[in-house]
């Protein structure tokens, strides 16, 4: 935890009857600082006004975040970074509202459906094993680089029909884009724009090739021929969707796995339970995703409203602070504790809710379940080292490294 509070409460100040704070969500801070500080500020009020970056509302408990996810007529997805109310980009389908959002999701659902993911389970498991087996004899790895980046990337690119060697391009691009979201540093925003251009150009070349060399049973060929409602998809829509898929698919599982493995390294009793009872792993995954949720999403308020007693104006921005909502004391008993016996954790918001519930939810859960199962078959006992050096940052929480060590059999 940082010695200086991440979120400064501006005593004596209010906006619409809500407390006023200052919260820079781009700071790299010691591990778990974000979750702990959000716990602190949620205890003050379920809604606060944040003065950072021009100002935005922070929705902090389960009820406010859930209601905002479901109310696109007030909380519009046309802007999704709380400090950027007028973005000069438009991501499809992320920044679409119903009913058009549903038309785009319809052409994307098939490869990420529960049935499609079940059909791929053996391949997903093979990939996990292929990455874990060479690590067993090493005894020390940066888990993020050695596994958490590579494994979900290979799975995702295979689902889309892209060569895994292209992960060497995609992974740095995606990390750069997320590093620039909401950043005020000019170098970070320039690098973000360059990375987005790199992703776009990749798919420009792919689309040109598909027009002359369509492929059978190929996601991108099918997407290039799709209809959005009654209209054929445009090249611009195709390129936009492809870029968003890459951004959404290559970072979230990596980040979530980092928090899970850190927790299990530091809580040997929990780790022993999933070793002894592997059938408990789906419950364990769900509980760790809840406690260590990572996404701080944004919405633009498009009409004056009184939301849970707080007057908000059209044009205001709001942060749907999921890492706070999933630890809401009014919904969960002892919410910051990982408890594999918990009975009150159903319906958490870690994968969002409403029309924009994560497209890759079923894939992400399956990847994480398989990863924990196969890792603990081969490396059941390990410890986290250099934890004091770990840093996390927003607006999507994640670890860039996690060093694990274990004893190697002679």
What pLDDT digit, counting tens, does each position of 99-133 carry? 999 999 999 999 999 999 999 999 999 999 999 99
Per-residue pLDDT at 170 = 87
Per-residue pLDDT at 249 = 80
Per DSSP, what are the bridge partners of residue 232? 227
**Over residues 296-312, mean pLDDT:** 97
Nearest-angstrom CA–CA distance, 221 and 207: 8
pLDDT above 50: residue 97? yes
Angle at 363 (CA atoms; ends 359, 368), nearest 5 degrees? 130
Nearest-angstrom CA–CA distance, 36 and 106: 38
Nearest-angstrom CA–CA distance, 342 and 337: 10
Per-residue pLDDT at 266 = 97
Per-residue pLDDT at 176 = 87
Nearest-angstrom CA–CA distance, 333 and 366: 27
DSSP 158-210: HHHT--GGGHHHHHHHHHHHHHHTT---HHHHHHHHHHHHHHHHHHHHHHHHH
Per-residue pLDDT at 143 = 98
pTM: 0.92
Per-residue pLDDT at 190 = 87
pLDDT above 60: residue 4? no
Nearest-angstrom CA–CA distance, 63 and 249: 27
Question: Could you give the dihedral angle defined by the CA atoms of residues 93, 95, 97 and 102, in that order, rounded to the nearest 10 degrees?
Answer: 10
pLDDT above 60: residue 284? yes
pLDDT above 50: residue 2? no
Nearest-angstrom CA–CA distance, 12 and 33: 25
What pLDDT digit, counting tens, does each position of 352-390 carry? 999 999 999 999 999 999 999 999 999 999 999 999 999
Per-residue pLDDT at 181 = 65
Angle between helices 235-249 and 167-180 (to 10 degrees): 90
**Over residues 255-278, mean pLDDT:** 97
- Evaluate whether 237 touches 200 at the Cβ level (below 8 Å): no
Per-residue pLDDT at 183 = 59
Nearest-angstrom CA–CA distance, 264 and 266: 5
Q: How confident is the model at residue 1 (pLDDT cuts 50, 70, 90)?
A: very low
Q: Would strands 18-23 and 47-50 be described as parallel, antiparallel, or unpaired?
A: parallel
Per-residue pLDDT at 185 = 67
**Over residues 40-65, mean pLDDT:** 97
**Over residues 164-193, mean pLDDT:** 80
Question: Could you give the dihedral angle defined by the CA atoms of residues 304, 306, 312 and 317, in that order, rounded to the nearest 10 degrees?
Answer: -90
Per-residue pLDDT at 167 = 86
**Over residues 230-252, mean pLDDT:** 91
Dihedral sign (CA 217, 221, 227, 232)? negative
Per DSSP, what are the bridge partners of residue 318? 57, 299
What pLDDT digit, counting tens, does each position of 194-206 carry? 998 999 999 999 9
DSSP 231-278: EEPPHHHHHHHHHHHHHHHSSHHHHHHHHHHHHHHH-HHHHHHHHH-G
Q: In 3D, which of 9, 36, 12 has the Cα closest to residue 23?
A: 9
Nearest-angstrom CA–CA distance, 45 and 58: 10
Average per-residue pLDDT for the chain: 93
Lowest-pLDDT range of 104-108, 294-298, 397-401 = 397-401
Q: Would strands 47-50 and 403-405 be described as parallel, antiparallel, or unpaired?
A: unpaired
Domains, the chain, ranges and CATH?
A: 7-405 (1.10.630.10)
Buried b (16+ CB within 10 A) or exposed e, 239-256: bbbbbbbbbbbbbbbbbb
DSSP 229: T
DSSP 298-335: EEEE-S-EEETTEEE-TT-EEEEEHHHHTT-TTTSSST
**Over residues 384-404, mean pLDDT:** 90
pLDDT above 60: residue 182? no
Per-residue pLDDT at 141 = 98
pLDDT above 70: residue 142? yes
Per-residue pLDDT at 74 = 98
């Amino acid at each position: 935890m940082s010695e200086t509070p991440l979120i400064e409460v501006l005593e004596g100040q209010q906006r619409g009857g809500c407390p006023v704070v200052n919260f820079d969500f781009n700071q790299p801070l010691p591990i778990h600082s974000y979750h702990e500080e959000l716990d602190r500020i949620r205890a003050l009020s379920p809604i606060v006004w944040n003065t950072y970056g021009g100002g935005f509302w922070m929705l902090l408990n389960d009820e406010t975040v859930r209601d905002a996810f479901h109310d696109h007529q007030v909380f519009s997805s046309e802007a999704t970074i709380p400090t950027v109310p007028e973005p000069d980009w438009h991501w499809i389908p992320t920044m679409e509202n119903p009913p058009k959002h549903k038309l785009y999701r319809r052409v994307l659902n098939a490869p990420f459906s529960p049935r499609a993911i079940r059909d791929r389970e053996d391949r997903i498991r093979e990939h996990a094993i292929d990455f874990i087996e060479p690590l067993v004899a090493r005894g020390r790895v940066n888990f993020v680089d050695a596994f958490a980046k590579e494994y979900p990337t290979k799975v995702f690119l295979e689902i889309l029909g892209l060569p895994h060697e292209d992960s060497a391009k995609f992974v740095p691009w995606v990390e750069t884009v997320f590093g620039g979201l909401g950043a005020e540093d000019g170098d970070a925003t320039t690098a973000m724009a360059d990375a987005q251009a790199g992703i776009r150009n990749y798919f420009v070349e792919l689309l040109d090739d598909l027009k002359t060399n369509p492929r059978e049973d190929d996601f991108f060929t099918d997407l290039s021929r799709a209809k959005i409602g009654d209209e054929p998809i445009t090249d611009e829509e195709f390129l936009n969707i492809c870029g968003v898929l890459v951004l959404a698919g290559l970072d979230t599982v990596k980040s979530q796995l980092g928090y899970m493995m850190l927790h299990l390294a530091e809580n040997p009793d929990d780790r022993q339970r999933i070793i002894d009872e592997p059938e408990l792993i789906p419950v364990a995954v769900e509980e760790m995703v809840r406690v260590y949720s990572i996404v701080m999403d944004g919405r633009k308020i498009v009409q004056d409203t009184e939301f849970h007693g707080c007057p908000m104006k059209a044009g205001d921005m709001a942060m749907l602070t999921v890492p706070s909502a999933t630890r809401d004391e009014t919904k969960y008993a002892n919410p910051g504790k990982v408890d594999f016996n918990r009975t009150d954790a159903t319906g958490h918001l870690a994968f969002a809710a409403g029309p924009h519930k994560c497209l890759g939810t079923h894939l992400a859960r399956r990847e994480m379940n398989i990863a924990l199962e196969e890792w603990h078959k081969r490396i059941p006992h390990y410890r986290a080292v250099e934890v004091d050096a770990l840093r996390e940052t927003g607006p999507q929480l994640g670890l860039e490294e996690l060093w694990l060590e274990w004893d190697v059999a002679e």
